[in-house]
Structure 1
Amino acid sequence: MSITFYYAPQSSAGRISVSLAELDVPHEAVRFDLRAGDQKKPDFLALNPNGKVPTVVIDGTPVFESVAIQIALGERYGVQKGLWPAAGTPEQLTALTWLVWGQVSLTGALFRYMANTSEYFPKEMHNEKQAEHTLAELHGLLRILDSRLDGRPYVTGERCTLVDLDLASVLGWGLMAAKIDFAELKNLKGWLGRIMERPAVKKAMAET
């Protein structure tokens, strides 16, 4: 078994770093300087033609797009550790649903909002109407997640999985960076606090 993990600090690779830390899987971490163009070098483009991180190489096979990486890690290493449901179970279908929802619907809305409000993006790109619309969409999605967590400690049930780690790694910094007030969402707030206090999560977030 061999895993090489290509990442850059303060990027979407953080969610993969969290999962690798929680799974406690041995791997080689290769840090990229995106400003220097490490991700555009020919050797890396041969692994990921998009020239983006995160990318992992598992036993010689490159995997890119963070949702694909999470699924690959879950299926290969997470079942035995209780961090991913077994293949063919109803729980696996639930995990896949919420993982993809988090990366497509929730993260998509969060980044669209930040693109229209955040200092990370040029002011000339900001659109007040788009920001207002996306903020309403984002609050609706956060309420959906809060409702999902009503009566259950984790998104898929009684156990923490890669789904929780993935969602929390995005929201842990994203809600703060976007200045989103979610104090009234008690289920979400409690869940996020529990995930962010996990030792592996704290270690991975500090490193990325």
Structure 2
Amino acid sequence: MTESIITLFHNPQSRSAGVRVLLEALGAPYEVRFIDLKSGANRTPEFLALNPLGKLPTIRYRDAVVTEQVAIYIYLADLFPAAGLAPAFDDPRRGSYLRWIAFYGASFEPAVVDHAMKRPAIDAATSGYGSYDTMLQTLVEQLGRGDYLLGERFSAADVLWGSALRWTTGFGIVPELPAIRAYIERVGAHPAFARAAELDAGLIAGAGG
């Protein structure tokens, strides 16, 4: 792979915060384009040409623009295989790795949003995630099976989930159960989290936030 620079369109107070952690964990060469959400920088014609939904995270690498949080994590971890944050295609753990990354986008996020907005529950047979309680129980059981989602191996999936659970428990959207709290602490001990937090603090200060 050449040393092309990845562009991260970023605001530390958005879902792109976890992507910055991942980039630091991968040791990837990247630059940040700060997107001021308060001023509507995510709604400009220039940004909407990249991501019509006006959402972060969004990245650009060479001629490829990648949106959608789950896609970005898979893409970046595979782009830097030497970092060891994604099982190889022939690794038996690859299926579980993809499952838990997809579970985040397909089940966790919609279930948590519906729960937080107090939307009426629909029949589990027609709900993509079944029910909020079943979704949460499934996650907590997996967290109890090892230090990380793949047992003893830390992966990009843990960066995604560690970031998301820290944010959602911090706002009281997800209960801070013992298994969740212990997992957040284990994942958050990775040096990439501290590096990203330090860089983001400087970014916020420079932006006058």
1:177-199 deviation digits (Å, cap 9, x = unpaired): 0254333xx43332221111222
Give the TM-score normalised by structure 2: 0.81
Matched residue, 1:119? none
Question: Is the 1:75–1:87 Cα contact (8 Å) retained in structure 2?
Answer: no
Give CA-to-partner distance per residue, 1:88-129, whole Å, 9 cap, x none.
33222211110010122112222222234xxxxxxxxxx5x5
Matches within 5 A, 1:52-71: 52-71=55-74
Report the secondary structure of 1:46's partner residue: helix
Aligned residue in 2 for 1:124: none
Question: Highest relative contact order (Cα 8 Å, sep 6+), 1 or 2?
Answer: 1
TM-score, structure 1 normalization: 0.81
Which moved further from structure 2: 52-61 or 144-153?
144-153
In 2, Cα distance between the equivalents of 1:60 and 1:82?
A: 25
* Identical-residue share of aligned pairs (%): 29
Aligned-pair distance for 1:62? Answer: 0.7
Note closer, same or farther for the CA distance 1:164–1:149 as it changes in structure 2 (3 Å cut).
Answer: same
CA distance in 1, matches of 2:134, 2:196: 29
Cα offset for 1:69?
0.7
> What is the deviation of 1:139?
4.1
Q: 14, 17, 21: which is aligned to 1:18?
A: 21
Amino acid at match of 1:36: S
Give 1:191's aligned residue. 183
In structure 2, runs of 5+ residues without a counterpart are 125-129, 202-209
Stretch of structure 1 that moved more, 65-74 or 16-25 = 16-25
Matches of 1:33 and 1:180, distance apart in 2: 27
1:162 aligned partner? 156
Gaps of 5+ in 1: 117-126
8 A Cα contact 2:165 2:180, kept in partner = no
Tell me if 1:110 matches 2:102: no
Q: Which residue of 2 aligns with 1:97?
A: 99
Cα distance in 2 between the residues matched to 1:110 and 1:84: 26
CA distance in 2, matches of 1:46, 1:108: 26
Partner of 1:8: 11
Match for residue 142 of structure 1 among 118, 136, 140: 136
Equivalent-residue separation in structure 1 for 2:38 and 2:182 (angstroms): 37
Letter in 1 for 2:156: L
Number of aligned residue pairs: 191
Find the aligned partners of 2:108 and 2:170 in 1 and give their Cα distance. Answer: 15
Matched, 1:182 2:184: no
1:33 alignment partner in structure 2: 36
Q: Which amino acid aligns with 2:28?
A: V
**TM-aligned CA deviation for residue 45 of structure 1:** 2.2
> 1:82 is aligned with what amino acid?
G
C-alpha displacement of 1:50: 2.1
- C-alpha root-mean-square deviation of aligned residues, in Å? 2.4
